[in-house]
Chains A and B, each alone.
Chain A
């Protein structure tokens, strides 16, 4: 079965420090991976998809098929990055998403 694991429920870093939110997946085929973010009192929104290889708000994520990981990184955290982050996977060209448990990121001043 397809599964997405985010091992950290909570992550707290200081402003200006590097951030890495971990995401591991299990799927034998070619997945499509996403990071979604939910800021306080806002709806879930797409942050990154691995296919586009973009950098959004300073965040990047690289798909590592060997390690089945899709970790989200930012070199210098900002206070406005505090939010709930979800890693998600879709497969077989389907639109269904399998989400990880989420990581609540807090950036301390």
Chain B
């Protein structure tokens, strides 16, 4: 199993550009989520999904969209990038029966 994979690893955007961060998991997990990691602030939940077709907002959803058309994939879209979205983004998945969340390797995004 590859676990949770994320692409790209690094990305530089200009203010106003859009892009999609990809996340996929091959563990048949129902729950998937996106976090951003900023120095001194830990990880903050952006959006999450409890299954295909179901998404909900986390703590910091503004400026981000998600969709969950399949169990495996959970892309995160930045519609109009802003410098405040410079961060490291982590995708995670877990079984809804509880237990550990499995994290992807992260995407380091810089918005200039």
* A interface residues, Cβ below 8 angstroms from B: 4, 6, 9, 32, 34, 36, 43-46, 49, 86, 88, 93, 95-102
Contact = CB atoms under 8 A, between A and B. Distances in A.
Contact of A96 (B45, B100, B105): B45
B101 A95 contact: yes
Contacts of A93: 98
A95 B96 CA distance: 7
Contact of A95 (B50, B59, B106): B50
Interface stretch (B18-26, B35-43, B65-73): B35-43
B89 interface: no
Interface residues of B, number: 25
B90 A96 contact: no
Given A43-B103, A44-B90, A49-B100, A96 B48 contact: yes
B58 interface: yes
A101 B50 contact: no
B103 A45 contact: yes
A97 B48 CA distance: 10
A44 B89 CA distance: 12
A97 B45 contact: yes
Interface string B14-57: 00000000000000000101010000111111001010000000
Nearest to B96: A95
Contacts of B40: 9, 101
A42 to B, nearest CB: 8
Contact of B44 (A6, A44, A45, A99): A99
A9 to B, nearest CB: 7
B60 to A, nearest CB: 12
